[in-house]
Amino acid sequence: MFRRKKKVVSENVLQDKVAGKIAGGLILLQTKFSDRMNKLKNLKGLLIGFCVLSAGLSIYFFVDAIVSKPKARFSIDQVKVPKHFDKSGDEIMESEMPDDIYQQIQDYKNYMDSLGLPIRPGLMDSIRILEEIYLQQHKK
């Protein structure tokens, strides 16, 4: 009369499989999490080592800059400038071109023609301009 009836537990195979898979998944998740934490612990050690090394080098460079004598790291040399870089050549136009300079220009031109080598285009233009200046001066 006062006894309880025991409930009959019905075995459900499907529920057991699902519970087993969930438990296996949780254990796998815990394992991966613990492996990740172990790797982070190793990374923390590397980070601490890097910080100590960087701080040591910074202190060394700071003390070295204060204690050591200043050294010339590089030197500045004077720039070599041609003598007549600021002259345009208009000064030549004010006076007459001497006959000997004109003769030297003609000799150079004939020499280059006899060699059969071409005169640089810019140089040939300059020679032509000088010849025109000489001829204009002697027309007067």
Number of domains in the chain: 2
Residue of 88 and 113 predicted with greater confidence: 113
Q: Indicate the residue among 19, 41, 75 that finishes a domain.
A: 75
Residue 60 in domain: yes
Asked if residue 49 is part of any domain, the answer here is yes
Q: Is the pLDDT of residue 118 over 80?
A: no
Task: Name residue, tokens 């492996």.
Answer: 35
Q: Mean of the per-residue pLDDT values for the chain?
A: 81
In a domain, 1, yes or no: no
Residue where one domain finishes, among candidates 75, 109, 128: 75
Q: What is the pLDDT of residues 7-61, one digit of tens each?
A: 655 567 788 888 889 999 999 999 998 888 888 777 888 889 999 999 999 999 9
Mark whether 98 and 127 lie in a shared domain: yes
Q: Are residues 50 and 99 in the same domain?
A: no
- Identify whether residues 49 and 25 lie together within a single domain: yes
User: Are residue 60 and residue 105 in the same domain, yes or no?
Assistant: no
Per the structure, the complete domain to which residue 15 belongs is given by: 11-75
28 and 66 in a single domain? The answer is yes
**pTM value?**
0.32
Report yes or no: 101 and 79 within 8 Å, Cβ to Cβ: no
The residue behind tokens 């590089």 is 74
Q: Which of 44, 75, 106 is the last residue of a domain?
A: 75
User: What pLDDT shows up at residue 27?
Assistant: 92
Mean pLDDT of 85-110: 76
**The pLDDT value given to residue 31:** 92
Q: Give a yes or no: residue 82 inside a domain.
A: no
The DSSP code sequence of 43-104 is: HHHHHHHHHHHHHHHHHHHHHHHHHSPP------PPPP--TTTT--SHHHHHSPPPHHHHHH
What tokens were used for 45? 């050690």
Question: What's the pLDDT score for residue 90?
Answer: 62
- The answer to whether residue 6 is domain-embedded is no
In a domain, 69, yes or no: yes
